[in-house]
Chains A and B, each alone.
Chain A
Amino acid sequence: MARIKASPRAPLDYARALPLQLWLGVVLLFLYLPLLVLFVFSFNDSRRTTVWRGFTLEWYGKLFENEGIRDAMLNSLLIAVACTVLSVILGALMAFMFWRFKFPFKSGLEGGMSLPIVVPEICMGVALLIFFAKLNWPNDLPWPVNLTPIIIAHVTFAFPFVAIVVRARLESFNRELEAAALDLGASQWRAFRDVIVPHMGPGLIAGALLAFTLSLDDFVITFFVGGPGSVTFPVKIYSMVRFSVTPEVNAASTVLIVITVVATALALRMQSKFAKEGQGS
């Protein structure tokens, strides 16, 4: 068979320009090399984290035997789930309010909505620390109630992300759909539930994913708000690294990455399912 002769490169066909291919390679390397090293050395059969000695699952075994890490992981997951649920509800309602109603100072308030996103985390941490101290929040509560301050703190910075994503999604809502539901006999509430919420769907999923990952890997704010009884996974890793970077830390980090990637993959799949349905409204 004759080889198909490569056609000349079209001006916008960037993927075939050599300098750009090199650049892309460099960027990818920069992005993923550190993670790759972390991942590979979590299987390294040596205490030292710099020389490859062979494959082992020892560190993962150690990790799951370590009660402190297991507890921290459980705390983190609990907090992340609670934070996700609360943030999605609050964020969706807030987005709906800004989308639907007109009221005084609306644009100012809408700008203020994203404030927790831009405020430096360290300031948020300090502010929340003072807040809970002033409230005289008891810090000797039994598990898992002692996680409440962290959950509240996480919701504070996570729900504006949800609100922004859902708000953007609502922009593409065809208001005649809601009118159609009302016209067919639905009450305001039924129209909201049957037509608006399904349209929000992809926004809710994206928002939930954001809230979940933000909460799962938050360190700064948790560090300020949490106490000895409410150590989360990132805080635990931090305390381990203070002594030395051990293969266990690598393994723990890898686990965190895997959880995040799985959550993202799930969310993307649900979203593409929604997006297909959303066409042709």
Chain B
Amino acid sequence: MSGSDDDVIIRIEDVTKRWGKVVGVDRVSLEIRRGEFFALLGPSGCGKTTLLRMIAGFEMPTEGKIWIDGQDVSAVPPNKRPVNMVFQSYAVFPHLTVYDNVAYGLQFDNVAKADQYQRVMKALADVKLDHLAERKPDQMSGGQRQRVALARALVKRPKVLLLDEPLSALDAKLREAMRFELAELQDKVGITFVMVTHDQDEALAMASRCAVMERGRLMQTATPANLYEFPANRFVADFIGSVNMFEGQLIADEPDHAIVESPELGGKIYFDHGVSGASGEKLWVGVRPEKIELVKKLEGAPVPTPEDSPEGCNVVAGVIHQISYLGSESVYEVKLANDRIVRVSRPNLSRWDQEDFTWDDPVWLRWHGDSPVLLQV
């Protein structure tokens, strides 16, 4: 197979990295498209950095192949690969000025002296550091050093820019601001970005596509919205955002609807669409907290089954157990009859909304037939 598909800039094929018995990356196959902002997301130790370092050439795959822009790079050392990296520690050379840091990589590219100055200053301007060219790194803040690292990599005009946890060392406010700046920068320079992060908000906010990894395995590759709304497995559903997971059994499996009976929930869950699953099989249903509606339980009132679901489905009774008021929304933990806790979040649309429910209120939880997701693994 050749990696020459025009749309694909990096093709990773069945790549495994092992150190003795330790498996860092386990049979990962992945395609990264030209010009996209791709995020590798996963918990600590899942092998994100290892995968990135294999793309950069600092680690060799134990098995499998990597193509960059149609070229098999197995035998290409890091200094000859058309990719550049922004390291987690930024790795700005402490003994060189900002200008010399950025110019360092150009001396290996046969760039004429005059062009060199133009390119360095342009790269510094791109990251808004052109006024600090003569500074030494020890006179700069963490955010500024990161910009130096960015400029130093971008000035080489790589085909792909690799970023290892670029925002993790910044404080919360700066991190937020840099999210937008990085995305903007990527737009401006038009280079493919591959970013490693363990912060799902960061990945969802910045990336056009994300790969979720766990214990060296690739769990799912999708757009942020699809990861959130259509997780492929329990790990992704749980890792991205928060989710209420109920174990159950498929009791009705029709082309246009399905029903899962879940003892864990103490009720039935109705899907208004067909699912791929087999009757009697054990599986899981995930419902996101914000997709559950909280309804006051009044004496003598009928069960408020959602209008799109059959009688007794997608509705369950409980008591408010815990409330966290988060300003823009409130998160309620509701205890069901079987003591299972369900999380429900509710936007505070008016300034008095948080007063609608209080501790120990009896409530109904209900959700629409298109809200739950069926997870088989």
Q: Does A110 contact B (CB under 8 A)?
A: no
Residues from chain B with Cβ under 8 Å of A198 in the complex: 95
Scoring A residues 261 to 281 as 1 if CB is less than 8 Å from chain B, else 0, what string do you get?
Answer: 000000000000000111111
Q: Which residues of B contact A190 (CB under 8 A)?
A: 108
Interface residues of chain A, those whose CB is within 8 Å of chain B, are 174, 176-177, 179-187, 190, 194-195, 198-199, 276-281
With A277-B94, A279-B94 already in contact, the answer to whether A184 and B84 are too (CB < 8 A) is yes
Q: Which chain B residues border A174 with CB–CB below 8 Å? A: 89, 91
Q: Are B88 and A180 in contact (CB under 8 A)?
A: no
Q: Among the listed stretches B137-145, B190-198, B337-345, which one makes contact with chain A, having 4 or more residues with CB under 8 Å of it?
A: B137-145
Q: Which of A184, A199, A276 has the largest number of chain B CB atoms within 10 A?
A: A184
A165 to B91, CA, bound (A): 24
Interface 0/1 of B295-324, CB less than 8 Å to A: 000000000000000000000000000000
| Distance of A198 Cα from B104 Cα, bound (Å) | 15
* 7 intermolecular pairs with C-beta atoms under 8 Å apart: A185-B105, A185-B108, A276-B138, A277-B94, A278-B94, A280-B92, A280-B137
User: Do A179 and B138 touch (CB < 8 A)?
Assistant: no
In the complex, what distance in Å separates the CA atom of A276 from the CA atom of B137?
10
Expressed in whole angstroms, the minimum distance between the Cβ of A243 and any Cβ of chain B is 53
Residue on B with the closest CB to A276?
Answer: B138
Given A276-B138, A281-B137, 7 extra CB contacts under 8 A: A179-B58, A179-B91, A183-B56, A186-B108, A199-B95, A277-B95, A281-B92
Smallest CB separation, A100 vs chain B (Å) = 15
Given A176-B91, A277-B95, A281-B92, decide whether A194 and B79 contact each other with a Cβ distance below 8 A: no
Give Cα distance in the complex from A183 to B93, angstroms: 13
Known A279-B138, A280-B137, A280-B145; contact A183-B79, beta-carbon cutoff 8 A: yes
Does B368 interact with chain A (Cβ within 8 Å)?
Answer: no
Q: How many Å from the CB of A105 to the closest CB on chain B?
A: 20
Residues of the A chain whose Cβ atoms lie less than 8 Å from the Cβ of B93: 177, 180-181, 194-195, 281
Tell whether B152 is near chain A: CB-to-CB under 8 Å: yes
Distance between Cα atoms of A280 and B156 in the complex (Å): 23
What is the 8 Å Cβ interface bit string for chain B, positions 64-97, against chain A (1 contact, 0 not)? 0000000000000111100011011101111100
Q: CB distance B79 to A180 under 8 Å?
A: no
Closest chain B CB from A255 CB (angstroms): 36
> A176 touching B89 by the CB < 8 A rule?
yes
* Selected contact of B79 from candidates A177, A182, A281, CB within 8 Å: A182
Q: What residue in chain A is nearest B140 (Cβ atoms)?
A: A280
Q: Which residue of B lies closest to A187 (CB)?
A: B79
A91 to chain B, nearest CB (A): 21
B109 at the interface (CB under 8 A from A): yes
Interchain nearest-CB distance for A183 vs B (Å): 5
Q: Nearest Cβ in chain A — how far from B143, in angstroms?
A: 13
The residue in chain A whose Cβ has the minimal distance to the Cβ of B88 is A176
| B138:A182 contact, CB within 8 angstroms | no
Chain B positions within 8 Å of A277 at CB level: 94-95, 136, 138
The 7 closest A-B pairs by CB, nearest first: A185-B108, A184-B105, A180-B91, A280-B138, A176-B91, A281-B94, A279-B138
Q: How far is the CA of A40 from the CA of B156 in the complex (A)?
A: 64
Docked complex Cα distance between A177 and B88 (Å): 11
Minimum Cβ distance to chain A for residue B266 (Å): 53
Given the complex, which residues of A lie within 8 Å of B87, measured CB to CB?
Answer: 176, 179-180
B95 & A278 in contact (Cβ 8 Å cutoff): yes
Across-interface contacts of B149 in A (CB, < 8 A)? 180
Q: How far is the CB of A219 from chain B (nearest CB, A)?
A: 39
Known: A179-B58, A198-B95, A281-B92. A185 touches B156 (CB 8 A): yes
A194 engages B138 (CB within 8 Å) = no
Q: How far is the CB of B89 from chain A (nearest CB, A)?
A: 5
Q: For the complex, what is the distance from the CA of A183 to the CA of B108, rounded to whole Å?
A: 11
Q: How far is the CB of A170 from chain B (nearest CB, A)?
A: 15
Cα A207 to Cα B70 in complex, Å, equals 50
Cβ B136 vs Cβ A184 within 8 A? no
| Complex Cα gap A157–B94 (Å) | 33
**Distance in Å from the Cβ of B110 to the closest Cβ of chain A?**
10
Is A177 in contact with B91, judged by CB distance below 8 angstroms?
yes
Shortest Cβ distance from residue A205 to the other chain B in the assembled complex, whole angstroms: 14
Render B113-155 as a binary contact track against A, CB cut-off 8 A, 1 for contact.
0000000000000000000000011101000010001001100
- Report B-chain residues with C-beta under 8 Å of the C-beta of A195: 93
Instruction: Give bound CA distance, A80 to B273, whole Å.
Output: 87
With a cutoff of 8 Å between Cβ atoms, the chain B residues found around residue A186 in the complex are: 79, 104, 108
Residue in contact with A185 in the complex, picked from B79, B91, B92, B138, CB distance below 8 Å: B79
A280 touches B91 (CB 8 A): no
Our pick among A179, A181, A280 for the contact of B94 (Cβ within 8 Å) is A280
- Chain B residue nearest to A197 (CB atoms) is B95
Measured CB to CB, the closest approach of chain A to B58, in angstroms, equals 6
B329: shortest Cβ distance to chain A, in Å?
Answer: 39
Query: Nearest chain B CB to A275's CB is how many angstroms away?
Result: 10
B101 to chain A, nearest CB (A): 9
Give every chain A residue within 8 A of B152 (Cβ-Cβ): 180, 184
Most buried by A among B78, B136, B140: B78
Cα of A279 to Cα of B136 in the assembled complex, Å: 10
* Complexed CA–CA distance, A78 and B14 (Å): 62
Question: What is the CB-to-nearest-CB distance from A174 to chain B, in angstroms, rounded to a whole number?
Answer: 6
Please state if B140 and A182 are interface contacts (CB–CB under 8 Å).
no
